[in-house]
Amino acid sequence: MQLQREKSLLLMVDFQAGLLPVIEGGQEAVTEAAWLGEMACLLEVPVWLTEQNPEKLGGTAPSLLAALNDYLLWQKQHFSVMAEAEFESALKASGKTQIVLCGTEAHICVLQTGLGLLAAGYELYWLSEASASRRPQEATMARERACASGAVTVTADMVAYEWLHRCDTAQFKEAHQRFLKPRSSRPVRFF
């Protein structure tokens, strides 16, 4: 399975300001999600966000919203956004079949959403470095369970390069200048 941007949708689950302070690696997850969200916007891949009970947990982290120039926001009460009838209908109507998934908490809302997406027949790509929980071992277990159910683990770089597909386009050149530079102390290799 290889990602194709015309079939893809980036789904970011519950990166909420009231929840993030207690999430181990939460800020790093937001940073990676924001980076891929900017790339998605450049490449016209839809970005959808969810918020779980925002009256209690607050809205989406301002730093994430600032990185995105186009997104659709869904509020939910179910842990799995797939249990929200309006969301499920809109996703089906979008025609997107490849869902890149990330968020918090990985072992609750992200996992339940992922399992719902898999059950509905979508290809699921678990964005590992942008999925976090209060306890890291629960995020790891969530990823393992999702993958055992049919998801594929990916990194932001993997997704970006699959969406870009080739290096001789104007989109690649713009992406390279704007986004494809090291985001942290870890090196990024370009070929």
DSSP classification of residue 125: E
- Judge whether 188 lies within some domain: no
Residue 180, pLDDT score: 65
- Judge whether 187 lies within some domain: no
Helices (H), 43-130: 54-57, 62-67, 85-94, 111-119
Closest listed residue to residue 39, CA positions, set 130, 131, 140, 112: 130
Percent with pLDDT over 90 in the chain: 86
Q: H or E segment at 127?
A: strand 123-132
* Torsion angle in degrees (nearest 10) through CA of 89, 106, 51, 72: -50
Number of domains in the chain: 1
Say which range, 32-46, 65-79, 163-177, has the weakest mean pLDDT. Answer: 163-177
Average pLDDT, the chain: 92
- Judge whether 92 lies within some domain: yes
Residue with tokens 């072992």: 107
- Judge whether 191 lies within some domain: no
- Judge whether 184 lies within some domain: no
- Judge whether 189 lies within some domain: no
Residue 183, pLDDT score: 54
Here the CATH number for the domain that contains residue 129 is 3.40.50.850
Tell me the residue range of the domain where 94 lies.
5-178
- Judge whether 16 lies within some domain: yes
- Judge whether 150 lies within some domain: yes
Do residues 87 and 74 touch, judged by C-beta distance below 8 A?
yes
**Confidence band, pLDDT 50/70/90 cuts, at residue 33:** very high
